[in-house]
Amino acid sequence: MNEMVKVDRRDAKLALAHIYVAFIALGLGGLAGLLQTLVRSGKFELPANISYYTILTTHGVLLGLVLTTFFIIGFQFAAVSRTAGTFSDRVRFWGWVGFWLMTVGTAITAFFILIGQASVLYTFYAPLQAHPGFYLGLTLVVVGSWVSGFAIFAHYARWKKEHPKQVSPLLTFMAVANMILWLVCSLGVAATVLIQLLPWSLGLVDRVNVLVSRTLFWYFGHPLVYFWLLPAYMVWYAIVPKIIGGKIFSDSLARLSFILFLFFSIPVGFHHQLMEPGIDPFWKYVQVVLTFMVAIPSLMTAFAMFATFELYGRSKGATGLFGWLRKLPWGDARFFAPFVGMVFFIPAGAGGLVNASHQLDQVVHNTIWITGHFHLTLATTVVLTFFGAAYWLVPHLSGRVMTKAMNRLAIIQTIVWVIGMTFMSGSMHFEGLLGAPRRSAFSTYGNSPQALEWIPYQIAQAVGGTILFIGIILVLIIITNLAFFAPKGETEFPVAEVAEGAERTPLAMENWKLWIGITVALILIAYTIPFIDMIQNAPPGSKGYKLW
């Protein structure tokens, strides 16, 4: 029972390949981020005529799309192999096909960004028009991720067949839910790229319906955020309890929250388009309501985490209202980094509620507040959780152990990240409230008094960005050590058990036909009428612009 369950070596190789690409993307994308904050401080200019927007696109694509997708799929492959058994040769083969499609796609996309043919930012909004190679590369990344998703589904189906009337392992269930979410939402981005943007950039059609393309993008773009977040929740629900020596508060609650994310994270894209004309306010309202519904599973998660920590602390004799906090293993980076990620999700979630409210969005829309917001959600909550996971996942897969010195460095890394992000994201939030735009290089806007007010905040962002880049160097040192230089040995892949007092998980939790049916129904309700409206009342469309 207590014998250490290891991920099969062949599966480990597949997972590690993904994680290596993810951390290479972190290094390159992080460097681009550092340069951006320096440019925006007004004290630094990029050499050799490199455009700010090329760097900005590199940063967004490498960190928002490549780091995340590769880490998530690598982590999920490892988690599924660990909890639902070693992959068949066929599943592993398709896993590698997915990996190479994504890697080749990333290389093509990166090439066209770096030669300055695709400075369209990671949202690639029309009418900004990139080289067709940019769209083609992104298509390969998405198709590769689909192949990997189906490999996970096939393995899950085999497990279900071999274990009739049994509830699947929690981590496998969560990976399946996340890949269903990804598959359903990425249909939107595939549609806009293949039907609209690629033919338009190839010159096969002259004009593009901008509103339709933005709507399809945000049909994908918001659930994308949850595709990033759910693997962090996998770590919080199913792994962190084991690391601290506790139990999962409730398996059913964890699964229910994932099902609710599947329902409510997709039909909500309009809250990114609240300021756009051409969408009836009623449908914006419907999607705002659905957006607030998606806060519920996050609040459930917060409750479950507090409860897990408190139950553990009290089992160790903690007293008082918050005495249990003292019992947590603060010196263990595998716990500390994800915990800090959880704490940062509180201001991140609060900002999210602001962004999703129609009137409040008028205060913050397209300001750098939004950039500050997703540097709390993705670049702190999710990324610190991924770092914390990598501290045991990489040595588990590479057959090594983390030394005390590396653990200490990982704790320092987390603290460095907190300091850097507090400076950077904090000043982005405040500067945004003063009206400073996002997605723009340094400018004093003709020395307007309002724009001059923003400069101190931009200097604070450069300070924060520099500290964060030091954090990136530290994590790269740690990961390189864990992958290639740490002492050989066996590291545990921690998977928590459910608390004894918890109710049994009902089998109905895995009624995927019903869950997918409800998901599709909600999408149709939220999108059908406004989408028909956009097409029937479409303006002539826009030709492409290359503003670089």
Partner 1 sequence: MAKEKMKGKATGEDNLKGTLASVFLLGFFLIFTWVSVYYLFLERL
Question: What residues are labeled active site?
Answer: 222, 226, 373-375, 438-439
Check: CB of residue 352 under 8 Å from CB of residue 377.
yes
CA–CA dist 370, 376 (Å, integer): 10
CA–CA dist 532, 526 (Å, integer): 12
Check: CB of residue 468 under 8 Å from CB of residue 367.
no
Q: Which of 169, 338, 351, 426 binds partner 1 (CB under 8 A)?
A: 351
9 CB burial (10 A radius; 0-12, 13-18, 19+): exposed
Q: Note whether 500 binds partner 1 by CB under 8 A.
A: yes
* Pick 191 or 302: Cβ nearer partner 1: 302
* Pick 26 or 509: Cβ nearer partner 1: 509
Backbone angles phi, psi at 208, to 5 degrees: -130, 145
CA–CA dist 237, 242 (Å, integer): 9
* Pick 111 or 303: Cβ nearer partner 1: 303
Q: Which stretch binds partner 1 (CB under 8 A): 201-209, 443-451, 502-510, 536-544?
A: 502-510
| Binding map of partner 1 across residues 450-489, x = CB under 8 A, - = no contact | ----------------------------------------
Per-residue tokens: 221: 């773009």
Q: Note whether 503 binds partner 1 by CB under 8 A.
A: yes
Of 244-303, binders to partner 1 (CB under 8 A) are: 299, 302-303
Check: CB of residue 120 under 8 Å from CB of residue 539.
no
* Pick 49 or 359: Cβ nearer partner 1: 359
Q: Note whether 306 binds partner 1 by CB under 8 A.
A: yes
Q: Which of 115, 346, 524, 535 binds partner 1 (CB under 8 A)?
A: 346
3-state secondary structure 419-452: HHHHHHHHHHHHHHHCCCECCCCCCCCCCCHHHH
Q: Which of 1, 3, 277, 322 binds partner 1 (CB under 8 A)?
A: 322
Count the residues of the shown chain that bind partner 1, applying the rule CB under 8 A.
35
Q: Which stretch binds partner 1 (CB under 8 A): 141-149, 306-314, 485-493, 508-516?
A: 306-314
Shortest approach of partner 1 to residue 35 CB, angstroms?
31
* Pick 137 or 347: Cβ nearer partner 1: 347
Q: Note whether 311 binds partner 1 by CB under 8 A.
A: yes
The residue among 544, 530, 525 whose CA lies nearest residue 212 is 530
Q: Which of 350, 405, 507, 535 binds partner 1 (CB under 8 A)?
A: 350
CA–CA dist 270, 281 (Å, integer): 10
* Pick 332 or 361: Cβ nearer partner 1: 361
Shortest approach of partner 1 to residue 212 CB, angstroms?
30
Q: Which of 11, 80, 248, 310 binds partner 1 (CB under 8 A)?
A: 310
The residue among 355, 365, 345 whose CA lies nearest residue 297 is 345
Q: Note whether 353 binds partner 1 by CB under 8 A.
A: yes
Q: Angle at CA 123, nearest 5°, toward 119 and 129?
A: 45
First and final CA of the chain: distance in angstroms? 61
* Pick 325 or 477: Cβ nearer partner 1: 325
The residue among 140, 58, 63, 138 whose CA lies nearest residue 100 is 140
Q: What share of the chain is helix, strand, coil (3-state, %, to 5)?
A: 75, 0, 25
* Type and span of the H or E element at 288: helix 281-315
Helices 210-234, 512-536: crossing angle, 10 deg rounding? 160
Check: CB of residue 495 under 8 Å from CB of residue 82.
yes
Q: Which of 47, 487, 501, 540 binds partner 1 (CB under 8 A)?
A: 501
* Type and span of the H or E element at 218: helix 210-234
Q: Which of 114, 260, 307, 463 binds partner 1 (CB under 8 A)?
A: 307
Q: Note whether 96 binds partner 1 by CB under 8 A.
A: no
* Pick 354 or 412: Cβ nearer partner 1: 354
Q: Which of 9, 314, 326, 408 binds partner 1 (CB under 8 A)?
A: 314
171 CB burial (10 A radius; 0-12, 13-18, 19+): buried
| Binding map of partner 1 across residues 222-241, x = CB under 8 A, - = no contact | --------------------
* Pick 400 or 438: Cβ nearer partner 1: 438
Shortest approach of partner 1 to residue 314 CB, angstroms?
5
Q: Note whether 321 binds partner 1 by CB under 8 A.
A: yes
Q: Note whether 449 binds partner 1 by CB under 8 A.
A: no
For residue 163, the one-letter residue type is H
Q: Which stretch binds partner 1 (CB under 8 A): 227-235, 362-370, 456-464, 483-491?
A: 362-370
Shortest approach of partner 1 to residue 501 CB, angstroms?
4
H helix count then E strand count, the chain: 18, 0
Q: Which residues bind partner 1 (CB under 8 A)?
A: 299, 302-303, 306-307, 310-311, 313-315, 319, 321-325, 346-347, 349-351, 353-354, 357, 359-360, 362-364, 433, 500-504
